[in-house]
A and B are shown apart, each in its own frame.
Chain A
Amino acid sequence: MYSEKVMDHFSNPRNVGELENANAVGEVGNAKCGDIMKIYMFIEDDIIKDIKFKTFGCGAAVATSSMATELVKGKTIKEALELTNKAVVEALDGLPPVKMHCSVLAEEAIRSCLADYYKRQGIDPTPIVGCSCNCEECHAHHHE
């Protein structure tokens, strides 16, 4: 069902945990649907210096969170905002069709975290980050 890469990131997730000195936190999903992703970042000079995540969800949810954090770690905010769910899926050598929403959630978790970064500085994140929705809608949509 899952690729070796997915199983690797599920059994040995990268960047799992909390970040003491986080200056941005984002959380998407809900317990009702069965997955929640929470991302912590420490951003300095527009660069994601450190990143951690916590995820409640299925194997794909854990693996996509892990991969998404790997893909943006050390990158600039601009680069991180360019991360697509497709890139996460490709990096994991694919996901079963019913699990694609997990990759969307991972992308949204990164965005939501960056939105929080701007909000904390009194900057409206919407023009920069785009949909900083709490993703209930996108999530419900992807589950259809």
Chain B
Amino acid sequence: MIYVDNAATTKMSKEVLDSMMPYLTDCYGNASSIYSFGQQNRAVIENARETIAGLIGAKPGEIFFTGCGSEADNWAIFGAARKNVKKGKHLITSVIEHHAVLHCFQQLEKEGFTVTYIPVNSDGLVSVDDVKNAITPETTLISIMMANNEIGTIQPIKEIAQIAKENNIVFHTDAVQAVGHIPVNVEDLGVNLLSVSAHKFEGPKGVGFLYVKTGTWLSQLMYGGAQERNRRAGTENVAGIVGMATALKIAVENLDANMKKCYELRERFIDGVLSKIEHCRLNGSRTERLPGNANISFEFIEGESLLLSLDLVGIAASSGSACTSGSLDPSHVLLAIGLPHAIAHGSLRASFSHRNTSEEVDKIIEELVKIVQRLRDMSPLYEDYLKGKK
């Protein structure tokens, strides 16, 4: 199999698994227990917290482990909105956020909050001025994702965080696609809240964390035991936390080399596809982009057919078509950058990792040429196009 869906999830390395194994087997003590068999795991968790904090420029006390990236997003958004409700009920986010963010805001709207959804330009970029102009005295939270999961666009987070700070507004960024893939330093970015998920950088699934800057207060999302300094209940996923720390350490240590490799693979892919296949376009910015992300729309064909055809030849990729999103509309991100529905339905996302090779890229292109032609040959839209041209 050729796996180019690394934005969906990634392969865990043996090193990560090895670091987790003791906590899935013999070291099963509850870190909250008083006896040393439990307390040993407390030390292990705090050690992982320190490692992670050091890798993103945070203090250990600012890292709060969660059950996934979605939980970190939910906590940041509900937590900040509810905590500051006396100050105001206006919130700002962008139209291209992941559903783990968008659906929180939609829920808050039902609960009486007002939300401004900042549009993006045709490259998928949020304008700093738009954010600035959307601020009202009632605004309590701005949440803009660092890197988009579909089109890979990297937003000007530092500038937006600065504006939020000047206006005394809490700033959250969903950095699930960024951490471990591009440099992320919370101090330098100046954010209050930042969400991370381990399985996107070769860590295990079902674990993440929320960075909460000292002095930023959130209402609680998960009530129960006193874990995570009384702010997030739930017996710690020791193995997951350790695996996440190991994975992040490896990712950050190899960041430059991995970025370069992913960038080269992606450019080879984009250039290859655009030059060998007619009527297709790159979605998202060519420069302000995650190194490993390519998102291309093929006119006259539909994305799910494309994915099924690729799967039949052993290639795993993703699409923003309605048929793969389980809803009526194609991806909200592709519509937000101005693509007509028909073209948004025909999108393909290939997300590369350092594990991919240029031979794999060439093989995908070779297969795509055949598949796109086959699907176009059976497409009434392509037939109309050819007849119109005659």
Contact = CB atoms under 8 A, between A and B. Distances in A.
Interface of A: 2, 7, 10-11, 13, 16-18, 27, 31-38, 53-62, 98-99, 143
A58 B378 contact: no
B323 A58 contact: yes
Q: In the complex, which of the residues A54, A57, A59 has the most CB atoms of chain B within 10 Å of its own CB atom?
A: A57
Task: Across the A-B interface, give the 7 residue pairs with the lowest CB-CB distance, nearest first.
Answer: A31-B342, A58-B323, A58-B304, A38-B380, A32-B341, A54-B380, A34-B345
A125 B323 CA distance: 33
A76 B112 CA distance: 60
B326 interface: yes
Interface residues on B, range: 20 to 34
21 contacts: A7-B312, A10-B305, A10-B308, A11-B309, A31-B345, A33-B328, A34-B302, A34-B322, A34-B341, A34-B345, A38-B380, A54-B379, A54-B380, A54-B383, A55-B380, A56-B300, A56-B301, A56-B379, A56-B380, A58-B302, A98-B326
Contacts, number: 74
Contact of B322 (A33, A38, A54): A33
A34 B381 CA distance: 11
A36 B345 CA distance: 12
Nearest to A55: B378
Contacts of B301: 56
Contacts of A10: 305, 308
A59 B378 contact: no
B380 A36 contact: yes
B104 to A, nearest CB: 24
B380 A34 contact: no
A99 B321 CA distance: 14
Contacts of B345: 31, 34
B330 interface: yes
A36 B322 contact: no
Given A31-B341, A34-B321, A38-B383, 17 more contacts: A17-B377, A31-B345, A32-B341, A34-B330, A53-B378, A54-B379, A55-B379, A55-B380, A56-B301, A56-B382, A57-B305, A57-B323, A58-B302, A58-B304, A58-B305, A61-B305, A98-B326
Contact of B328 (A27, A57, A143): A143
Given A33-B328, A34-B302, A59 B308 contact: yes
B312 to A, nearest CB: 6
A37 B302 CA distance: 13
A11 B370 CA distance: 13
A30 B308 CA distance: 21
Contacts of B326: 98
